[in-house]
Amino acid sequence: QEEVFNCLGSGVLENAFSGYNACIFAYGQT
């Protein structure tokens, strides 16, 4: 969960698409 939080806190606005996609992918795999 920490990783997901980090990803979201990394900069959702900056990487709204890239970050979101990566977060979802990682979350689904985890």
Q: Using one digit for the tens of pLDDT, what is the confidence trace for 1-30? A: 466 555 555 555 565 566 666 667 766 765
- Report residue 9 as tokens: 């806190």
Residue with tokens 């795999």: 29
- The pLDDT, as a whole number, for residue 23 is 65
Range of 3's domain? 1-30
Angstrom distance (rounded) from CA 10 to CA 26: 14
**What Å distances lie between residue 9 and 12, 28, CA to CA?**
7, 18
> Number of structural domains, the chain?
1
- The pLDDT, as a whole number, for residue 20 is 66
H-type alpha helices, 1-30: 2-11, 16-29
**Chain centroid, CA 22 distance in Å:** 5
Q: Specify the pTM.
A: 0.27
